[in-house]
Amino acid sequence: MSTPTAPVPAIVLVAGEHLDDLRGSFSRYEREYAIRTATSTVEAETSAREWLEAGGDVALFVTDSVLPDAHVLDALARWRSVVPTARRLVAAHWERFLAHAAELRPGMAKGTYDAYLLMPRGTRDEEFHHAVTELLSDWGSTVAEAEVVTVKIVAPEQDGLVLAIRDFLDRMGMPHRVYDPEGEVGLTLRSMHPEPGPGEPEYPLVHMVERPGVRARSVRDVAAMLYGAPGDLDVSGTVDVVVVGAGPAGLAASVYAASEGLSTVVVEAEAIGGQAGTSSMIRNYLGFPRGISGMRLAQRARNQSLRFGTRFSTGWEVSSLEVGRDGAPHVVRTDGGDVHARTVVVATGVAYRRLRVEPLEELVGRGVNYGAAMTAAREMEGQDVFVVGGGNSAGQAAVHLSRFAGRVTILVRRESLVETMSSYLINEIEHNSRISVRPWLFCCMCGWSDRA
Ligand SMILES: Cc1cc2nc3c(=O)[nH]c(=O)nc-3n(C[C@H](O)[C@H](O)[C@H](O)COP(=O)(O)OP(=O)(O)OC[C@H]3O[C@@H](n4cnc5c(N)ncnc54)[C@H](O)[C@@H]3O)c2cc1C
pLDDT, tens digit (0-9, with 9 covering 90-100), for 229-258: 887 777 668 999 999 999 999 999 999 999
Structural domains of the chain sorted by starting position, each given as residue range(s) with its CATH number in brackets: 10-142 (3.40.50.2300), 151-225 (3.40.30), 230-346 (3.50.50.60), 358-438 (3.50.50.60)
Which residue's alpha carbon is nearest to atom 16 within ligand 1? 276
Q: What percent of the chain has pLDDT over 70?
A: 97
Nearest CA to ligand 1 atom 35: 245
Find out whether the beta carbon of 270 lies less than 6 Å from any atom of ligand 1.
Answer: yes
Q: Answer whether 409 contacts ligand 1 (Cβ < 6 A).
A: no
Q: Whose CA is nearest to atom 13 of ligand 1?
A: 276
The pLDDT, as a whole number, for residue 3 is 47
pLDDT at 130: 96
pLDDT score of 238: 93
Name the pLDDT band for 373 (thresholds 50, 70, 90). Answer: confident
396 lines ligand 1 (CB under 6 A): yes
| pLDDT above 90 (res 32) | yes
Q: Percentage of residues in the chain with pLDDT exceeding 90?
A: 72
Average pLDDT over every residue of 11-23: 96
**For atom 9 of ligand 1, which residue has the closest CA?**
282
Residue pLDDT, tens place only, 258-308: 999 999 999 999 999 999 998 888 988 999 988 899 999 999 999 999 999
pLDDT exceeds 50 at position 452:
no
Residue 6 banded pLDDT, cuts 50, 70, 90: low
How sure is the predictor about 143, in pLDDT bands with cuts at 50, 70 and 90? confident
What's residue 236's pLDDT?
Answer: 67
Tell me, what's the pLDDT at 310? 97
Tell me what pLDDT residue 189 has: 93
For residue 421, what pLDDT band results from cuts at 50, 70 and 90? very high
**Is pLDDT above 80 for 145?**
no
Please, which pLDDT band fits residue 361 given cuts at 50, 70 and 90? confident
What's the 243 CA to ligand 1 centre distance in angstroms? 14
The model's confidence at residue 55, banded by pLDDT at 50, 70 and 90, is very high
Average pLDDT, the chain: 91
- Residue 46 has a pLDDT of 97
Please work out whether the CB of residue 372 comes within 6 Å of at least one atom of ligand 1.
yes
**What's residue 44's pLDDT?**
98
* pLDDT for the residue numbered 385: 95
Q: What's the confidence (pLDDT) of residue 355? A: 86
3-state secondary structure string across the chain: CCCCCCCCCEEEEECCCCHHHHHHHCHHHCCCCEEEEECCHHHHHHHHHHHHHCCCCEEEEEECCCCCCCCHHHHHHHHHHHCCCCEEEEEECCCCHHHHHHHHHHHHHCCCCCEEEECCCCCCCHHHHHHHHHHHHHHHHHCCCCCCCCEEEECCCCCHHHHHHHHHHHHCCCCEEEECCCCHHHHHHHHHCCCCCCCCCCCCEEEECCCCCEECCCHHHHHHHHHCCHHHCCCCCEEEEEEECCCHHHHHHHHHHHHCCCCEEEEECCCCCHHHHHCCCECCCCCCCCCECHHHHHHHHHHHHHHCCCEEEECCCCCEEECCCCCCCEEEEECCEEEEEEEEEECCCCCCCCCCCHHHHCCECCCECCCCCHHHHHHHCCCEEEEECCCHHHHHHHHHHCCCCCEEEEECCCCCCCCCCCHHHHHHHHCCCCEEEECCCCCCCCCCCCCC
